[in-house]
Structure 1
Amino acid sequence: MSTVSSTESPFRQPRAVWAVAFACVISFMGIGLVDPILPALADQLQASHAQVELLFTSYLVVTALAMLVTGWVSSRIGPKRTLIAGLVLIVIFAAAAGAAGGIGGIVGFRAGWGLGNALFIATSLAVIVGSASGGFAGAIVLYETALGVGIASGPLLGGLLGNLSWRGPFFGVAVLMLIALVATVVFVEKTPPTQPSRLSEPLTALRHRSLRTTSLVGLLYNWGFFTLLGYAPFLMNLSALRLGAVFFAWGILVALFAVFGATWLKNRFGTARTLYGSLVGVALILAVIGTFSGSVPTVIVATVLSGAFVGLNNTLVTTAVMSISPVPRPVASATYGFVRFIGGGLAPFAAGLLAAAVNVHLPFWIAAVVVLGGLALLTTVHRDLERADRGETEVDMAEEVAVGEGAVEPSEIRS
């Protein structure tokens, strides 16, 4: 068995990999980009908090639904064309959102943005793995780095451009994604279609208990995560620039704990026990914000600290899904994305409605209970997670992921 030298840098990559990695950064920026401008949108467009939260709902719900068809599309037109289609849609709808005249238009265009985002994120990892030098492990490090940089820099860019105008973040993403689109067209080689997949595969995969259970854990966790991400900005009473700084600090912790902390804690305590601790952490943060919603310093500190637990969960819940799922990885990924983004999309809108109807404390208290419900559900697959941890080796994990993504053949890893 040949192995790649551990000293080879994962950042020495062909131009095609850097083109897709750059597009990944911009794509992941879209998650937190609108956070700093939510209060400004509500004030300047005379929209309720619930209406503004629909920017998350339309984006994430459409992303979730589109996850059901991305594999079907990619297997027929090829990964490169799927990437390009997703990038084109993001450029068009991000620019359209910036040019919109009211909250309804922005919400609608964010839905189109979500469709493009689903096509892109469902395909980008396979393209990076297939094009990267230095082996599978180096490609994953690069992908996780791009994810972390995108999540961290999205709120900062949103704050900087949003300080000029609420339209700025949307036009900024459109320009950056246009650059990424050109780079993808020029540098990424043509990729042929793979074995055609069936549209029904992601839904029929829910018949498997382990995948269904861990996907529902993702839904419940994302309910708490996006309650915090979507509604906490309204409690801080900060300018767009200062909100961007707060969520930039939050994003730095997300990136550090997703890339480094999750691996270290998993190796030390196992996937299940690390997840129990991080889910309890998220629930406690939500309970603190719900209880002390009137204290701006408390809300800011709690929000920033939540980034550590969010980073752990983002990596380890996905690891849990992929490690114990009995179906091919692309199918598991699509199924998990569909289920979890439904929770993330509905939570901010529900938070806006609950805060208006009752008080601002209730959405966070409910979210804390929901996250603890996810923890209780996770305990039902504890043994599956422990078996997966005991059976994992670096090579076996690499083969499972890379082959499942359609990026390589088994012989390319074991030869």
Structure 2
Amino acid sequence: MSGRTTGSVWRQPAQVWAVAFACVVAFMGIGLVDPILPAIAESLQASPVQTELLFTSYLLVTGLAMLVTSWISSRIGAKATLLVGLGLIVVFALLCALSGSVDAIIGFRAGWGLGNALFISTALATIVGAASGGSGAAIVLYEAALGLGIAVGPLLGGLLGEMSWRGPFFGVVALMAIAFVAVLVLVRRPVDKPAPVPLSAPFRALRIPALAVLAVAALFYNVGFFVLLAFSPFPLGFGAMGIGFTFFGWGVALALTSVWVAPLLMRHLARTTVMLLTLPLLALDLVAAGLLVHDAAALVACIIVGGLLLGIMNTVLTESVMEATDLPRSVASSSYSAVRFLGGAAAPPLAALLWHLYGPTVPYVFAAASVIIAAATILLGRRALARIDAREADAADEAAAVLVGDAA
């Protein structure tokens, strides 16, 4: 590989860093409320099932809105879509902070999810389109932003949540306002206006076997992801800071494997092989979490190990979706994300309900079973995924080489 590639993952135009920073803040929003879930339940006299609906309304609207984001972006442009998304998050996060009931927060989190959908689907396509070093380098950068945001979010949420459950919401408002200004100032409008994307494009995209297989697998995988993230604060029994530090460790683990380990594995193994190795390990980790749920230290260990495995899966799935078809990246990303977020939306209240009915072990076993279904989907659909297993040297290989330091 040429010396030109070396270091390209981290040498990016200012607009790429502006969008990456906004991605960090957006993903912080996912974990920021995690440490304050028990506090919200206590302060607003809400049941765990009601409290978990804070994730459901957010993720459900995010998923459904993903189906129209490429249509919107192709008409008003990527920069305007990013700004509208960030603006909506600022408004609805502020409304959450000022709310006096859990039902109001659930509703405002839905509006937050709309902003999140507009931003996230457009941000990935923007980074991939503007980054130097090819799509593999861009996806590594995107996953680094995701990992950093998911790691810092719970820690900041715990710090602000120690003062008040409203604190994390105010924190999102401030950070998203900064991200809004960064995108406004640094992101350039493209000279060529993109071709309008039909409203039906994401639905037609899901007819493509490779994308359909990945979307269904991601739906069941996301059940495991969000049971670990959204349900675990309740059986842990920690205060806001304890939960914050736990999920900070989880996020750091996720970031490390998504940025360094996943590209290394993909250099030596087919993408489907990486997924078929990782998903059963994740299922075993979830079963262990269920069996050891009454031991806080053991549960923390299972959460951290889960982060390591989730980081690998996130990067492999994202790269697979980008390489699975010849569709515009915004269309592939939005159709795939719409399906996978629906799995995340269903998981938290189902986990809380299973906990209420059968005890804290069952939600983790349920999550493990869902992850096994994801693995079976990949296995049965492997022929449709032959394209993503192509072994030719591509941008992903180059990005991996940069990260492990073996580029010539």
Q: CA deviation at 1:216?
A: 0.6
Q: Which amino acid aligns with 1:267?
A: R
Rate the CA distance shift 1:189–1:317 in 2: closer, same or farther, 3 A. closer
Counterpart secondary structure, 1:16: helix
What amino acid sits opposite 1:341 in the alignment?
A: F
**In the alignment, is the contact (CA less than 8 A) between 2:74 and 2:195 conserved in 1?**
yes
Report the Cα offset of residue 386 of structure 1. Answer: 4.7
2:79 is matched with which residue?
A: 80
Kept in 2, the 8 Å contact 1:41–1:47? The answer is: yes
Alpha-carbon offset, residue 134 of structure 1: 5.6
Change over 3 Å in CA distance of 1:349–1:3 after alignment to 2: same
Report if aligned partners of 2:289, 2:299 keep a CA contact under 8 Å in 1.
yes
State whether residues 139 and 319 of structure 2, in contact with CA within 8 Å, keep that contact through their aligned partners in structure 1. Answer: no
Per-residue CA distance 1:61-86 (angstroms, 9 max, x = gap): 10000100000000000111001100
Q: CA deviation at 1:9?
A: 4.6
Deviation for aligned residue 1:356: 1.4
Residue 166 of structure 1 corresponds to: 165
Aligned-residue CA RMSD in angstroms?
A: 2.1
Q: Which moved more, 1:47-56 or 1:122-131?
A: 122-131
Contact map agreement 2:136 2:395 (CA 8 A) in 1:
no
Q: Which amino acid aligns with 1:365?
A: V
Show structure 1 runs of 5+ residues with no match.
Answer: 399-415
Is 1:111 the counterpart of 2:110? The answer is yes
Tell me the number of residue pairs that the alignment of Structure 1 and Structure 2 aligns: 397
When residues 314 and 142 of structure 1 are mapped into structure 2, their CA distance, relative to the original with a 3 A threshold, is: closer
**1:96-107 alignment runs, 5 A limit:** 96-107=95-106
Label 1:396 to 1:142 Cα distance change in 2 as closer, same or farther (>3 A).
closer
Partners of 1:134 and 1:324 lie apart in 2 by 20
- The 3 A distance-change label for structure 1 pair 134 and 263 is closer
Give distance in 2, aligned partners of 1:70 and 1:325.
Answer: 19
Equivalences for 1:191-202 in 2 at 5 Å? 191=190, 193-202=193-202
CA deviation digits over 1:290-320, x for unaligned, max 9? 2222121111111111101110111112333
In structure 1, how many angstroms separate the alpha carbons of the residues matched to 2:85 and 2:109?
A: 13
- SS of 2:381's equivalent? helix
Equivalent AA in structure 2 for residue 126 of structure 1: A
**What's the counterpart of residue 203 of structure 1?**
203
Q: Secondary structure at the match of 1:13?
A: coil
Q: TM-score, structure 2 length as denominator?
A: 0.92
CA deviation vs aligned residue, 1:206-251 (integer Å, no higher than 9, x gap): 2222221221100011111111111111011111011110100010
* TM-score between both structures, scaled by the size of structure 1: 0.90
Q: Assess, with a 3 A threshold, how the Cα gap between structure 1 residues 174 and 295 changes in structure 2: closer, same or farther.
A: same
CA contact (8 A) 2:49 2:353 kept: yes
What one-letter code is carried by the residue in structure 2 that aligns with 1:11?
W
Shift of 1:138: 4.6
CA distance in 2, matches of 1:143, 1:165: 31
Return the alpha-carbon distance in structure 2 between the equivalents of residues 378 and 7 of structure 1: 33
C-alpha change, 1:56 and 1:141, in structure 2 (3 Å) is same
The range that moved more, 115-124 or 179-188, is: 179-188
Aligned match of 1:90: 89
Conserved? CA contact 1:79–1:193, under 8 Å:
no
Indicate the residue corresponding to 2:379 in structure 1: 379
List aligned pairs for 1:234-273, cutoff 5 A.
234-273=234-273
Whether the aligned pair in 2 keeps the contact of 1:324 and 1:384 (CA below 8 Å) is no
What SS does the corresponding residue of 1:207 show, helix, strand or coil?
coil
* Paired letter, 2:75: R
Partner Cα distance (2:134, 2:321) in 1: 23
Aligned residue number for residue 324 of structure 1? 324
The percentage of aligned residue pairs carrying the same residue is: 49
- Give the Cα–Cα distance (whole angstroms) in 2 for the partners of residues 156 and 356 of structure 1: 28
Conservation of the 8 A alpha-carbon contact between 2:323 and 2:387: no
Structure 1 residues 284 and 91, CA, compared in 2 at 3 Å: closer, same or farther? same
